[in-house]
Amino acid sequence: MKFDTAITNGDVFTEHGRQPLTIGLQNGRIVALLAPEVPFEAQSIIDASGQFVLPGAVDIHFHCRAPAYPARGDFATETMAAAAGGVTTIFEMPISKPCCATGAILRSRRELGEANAYVNFALYGAPGLLKRDEISAMVDEGAIAFKIFMTGAPAGRNDEFEGLCLPNSDELYQAMKLVAETGLVCTVHAEDNRLLEWHTAQLMAAKRNDIESHNESRPPHVEALAIATLLTLNEQIGMNLHIAHMSCAEALQVFRRWKATGSSATAETCPHYLFFTEEDLRRVGPYAKINPPLRQQADQDALWGGLRDRTLMAVTTDHSPFTVEEKERARTDIWRTPPGSPGVEELVLGMMDAALKGRIGLEHAVELISTNGAKRFGIYPHKGVIAVNADADLVIYDPRQTTTIHPDMLFSKAKACDKLYEGMTFQGRVRRTIVNGRTVFEDGEIKGQPGWGQYVRPNRDHIHKGL
């Protein structure tokens, strides 16, 4: 057998378990998985001795801010960061200027990504204009899924969120019915807007603008009630519902009750909820302002339980770059800074570290960051798996080394805002990231070029339910 590239001597993580295999790559695809003793020829050989070979991570919740706010990040900088973190496919959220709520805007964003992305990318659309023809146009343009916020648009950012925010139940209901017609997944940011606004008004009336007031404005019942609303509406609508960034035990309990009745809805959580608590908000201040907010230790423990019993099917970053100037505004007034934190460069590190330390199984960690997301959104078996005929999106990970996070090693334009992870040490190191058969990142250096990433469309016949 003759290949463009062969990866040898590694422990390869396939859906059949971890095993020593030779991986043959040809024309950007995996064309062979061979026992170590089987002879082959290859133009180049990558020796992965002592290392893991993983399917590239699929980050199903990502923001790169292009083209509206290049100072925060763009398709080039943030997909370089993804490559450095072992993420080979990102799903870009529709927050843009203007909001990605029409077929024409989605096409424009696709063209921008095709010119600049270092890793594969997919695009969410926003259905909240409630126009069936525009929703159909976004489907035709290859939207991976749709996104809805149950909250109102942030002050001063209406154009970025027009068609995305549906705080009223009647409009939410209409949008869910329209998305259900497409067969695509709809990811929902679930926080009850009326309660959120009431809690915020109470704090502002008390002249509270300290860092802790952000968490107090969004207590767990704000999230839990929104999830109950969604699941109630969806019992009759039957949309492919996916709940974004679940953060707390109370929300998880509500979701479990519906799953027990046979709901096919799915849910994700994020590394920042698994590794940090509200104590870290006090430690790094506005750099840990995130929606939903960081919670208590008991919530973190509950989320790990939700991963272990498979109530939660994915871990994804909600990578959200901003500038230091924007974040520092909150030193004197927490309401003045936007919510979000970078994190794509720590996704694989964090979950593999947890697995290597026995908090979760290694194979399960791979499912959570790669395979399950690909299945849920209809890009499996080309993505999220090491198998013959799959795309050659691979990560070589050395479990014998350690990685300590410091800003100089990061590629995100928001690296100076990555305060949550700064100084943390993880077991393991991302040695090489391969996208479509080509090495994009190796040993701390970007090797790829803008435009190497490919646009990813879903196959609606391959969307998995109830993972």
Span 403-455, pLDDT tens digits: 999 999 999 999 999 999 999 999 999 999 999 999 999 999 999 999 999 99
388 pLDDT band (50/70/90 cuts)? Answer: very high
Residues 319 and 224 in one domain: yes
Residues shown for the chain: 467
Chosen domain end from 355, 379, 403? 379
Chosen domain end from 328, 352, 379? 379
Residues 111 and 12 in one domain: no
Residues 90 and 134 in one domain: yes
Q: How many domains does the chain have?
A: 2
Nearest to 244 by CA among 222, 260, 266, 221: 266
Do the bridges between strand 425-435 and strand 394-404 make them parallel or antiparallel, or are there none, so unpaired?
antiparallel
Residue type, 67: P
The CATH number assigned to the domain holding 400 equals 2.30.40.10
Residues 163 and 233 in one domain: yes
pTM (predicted TM-score): 0.98
Chosen domain end from 379, 405, 422? 379
Residues 328 and 398 in one domain: no
- Alpha helices for 125-270 (secondary structure H): 132-140, 158-161, 169-182, 193-205, 211-217, 220-237, 249-260
Strand extents, DSSP E, 63-99? 87-92
What share of the chain in percent tops pLDDT 90? 94
Q: Tell me the two tokens of residue 450.
A: 């803008």
In a domain, 188, yes or no: yes
Q: How far apart are CA 243 and CA 251, in angstroms?
A: 10
Domain that holds residue 39: 2-53+388-446
Residues 226 and 368 in one domain: yes
Beta-carbon contacts of residue 70 (< 8 Å; ≥ 6 apart): none
Do the bridges between strand 240-243 and strand 120-125 make them parallel or antiparallel, or are there none, so unpaired?
unpaired
**pLDDT of 154 strictly over 90:** no
Residues 159 and 273 in one domain: yes
Mean pLDDT of the chain: 97
Sheet holding 314-315, edge to edge: 57-62, 87-92, 120-125, 145-149, 185-189, 240-243, 266-269, 314-315
In a domain, 460, yes or no: no
Distances (CA, A) of 408 to 83, 319, 422, 445: 16, 18, 10, 12
Residues 280 and 372 in one domain: yes
Q: Give me the pLDDT at residue 156, please.
A: 82
In a domain, 456, yes or no: no
In a domain, 296, yes or no: yes
Angle between helices 220-237 and 169-182 (to 10 degrees): 50
Q: What is the mean pLDDT of residues 382-392?
A: 98
- Residue 436 φ then ψ, to 5°: 55, 40
Q: Are 284 and 420 in contact (CB under 8 A)?
A: yes
Residues 142 and 23 in one domain: no
Residues 141 and 203 in one domain: yes
In a domain, 226, yes or no: yes
The CATH number assigned to the domain holding 181 equals 3.20.20.140
Residues 21 and 111 in one domain: no
Q: Are 87 and 57 in contact (CB under 8 A)?
A: yes
Residues 165 and 260 in one domain: yes
Span 121-150, pLDDT tens digits: 999 999 999 999 999 999 999 999 999 999
Q: How far apart are CA 391 and CA 105, in angstroms?
A: 28
